[in-house]
Structure formats: C-alpha cells, structure tokens
Amino acid sequence: MNDEKFMRQAIELSKLAVEHGNEPFGAVLVKDNEVVYTNENQIYTMKDPTFHAEAGLIRRFCMETGIRNLSEYTLYSSCEPCFMCSGAMVWVKLGRLVYAASNLDLEEILEKKGSNCSQMVFEHSNHKPEVCAGILREESINVLKNYFTARRN
C-alpha cells in the first residue's frame, strides 16, 4: 500500500532528525504517487523553534517552486501536526494529510496535555484536507518513545 510506503519514509526521516540533533518528526510531500519533497524537524540545528517537519517542508517547497496551492498533494507526517503546522496546511489548501501517531499518543509519551489537535484547527478554518490517521502508528510511537523517554531519564 502506497500510504504505508510513503509513511515509512516519513518515519525514517524522523529517525534521521534525531541523528542530526533534532526532534523525531519527519514529513514527506507526494503528488501523483511520487515524492516531491521531504523534510525533517530542524528546530535545534536551525535555531528555529518553528522549524517543524511539516511547516518547514511547506515553507521550503513553496519558496523553491513558487507553488502556492497544494490541493493536489498529499502530506505524510510521522505524527499528527501541531496547531502551527495545521495552520500552514490550511494556507496552502493541502489536499490530503496522512499521519501516523496522533497527538494523544504524543501527549501520553510526554506525560503532559498539549491539546495540540489538528482537528481543532481544521474545524475552525475555511479549508480542511482529507485526513487519514494511524498509518504505521505503532512504528512512529516507538520512535517517539525512544527519543522522549531517553531524554526524560
């Protein structure tokens, strides 16, 4: 299944992000069944707390291509996007969002409530991508757990 194939790549990027000194989140942008752009979390190496995998991907892809409308694109994210990244998806009219771990999964791992729910953003916006949740969820949860549990101890 293609969703799994692209999600696997997003999860691989989330592992690379950790190797590069950042947090475990990755994103892959796909059009017509082909990967057109990838990005990983870069908040520490770029010294930019807003450089999340998804928002960073959207910013760079649009800047480099001049494309402003992503209604024909699918974005794969290793974890449910935060408020900011969900907002970026609204601004580019993203066609489809697929994510692995949910924000609830992340909250459980972090042992804190963030209510960083993408659904909330989309419900209050004039654009909502088609959303598909839980693809390779367990694999993503494992990467998140490895990282955040190690940091806590």
Task: Please report, as ranges, the residues that interact with Zn ion according to CB under 5 A.
Answer: 52, 82, 84-85
| Rounded Cα–Cα distance for residues 56 and 53 (Å) | 5
Q: Which is nearer to Zn ion, 85 or 135 (CB)?
A: 85
Q: Which is nearer to Zn ion, 17 or 82 (CB)?
A: 82
**Min CB(52)–Zn ion separation in Å:** 3
**Min CB(39)–Zn ion separation in Å:** 11
Neighbours of 111 (CB within 10 A): 9
**What angle separates helix 103-110 from helix 137-152, to the nearest 10 degrees?**
20
**Min CB(83)–Zn ion separation in Å:** 7
**Min CB(97)–Zn ion separation in Å:** 12
| Rounded Cα–Cα distance for residues 18 and 132 (Å) | 25
Q: Which is nearer to Zn ion, 85 or 97 (CB)?
A: 85
Q: Which is nearer to Zn ion, 5 or 84 (CB)?
A: 84
CB 11 within 8 A of CB 136: yes
Catalytic (active-site) positions: 54
What is the full DSSP assignment across 66-110? -----TT-EEEEEE---HHHHHHHHHTT-SEEEEEE-HHHHHHHH
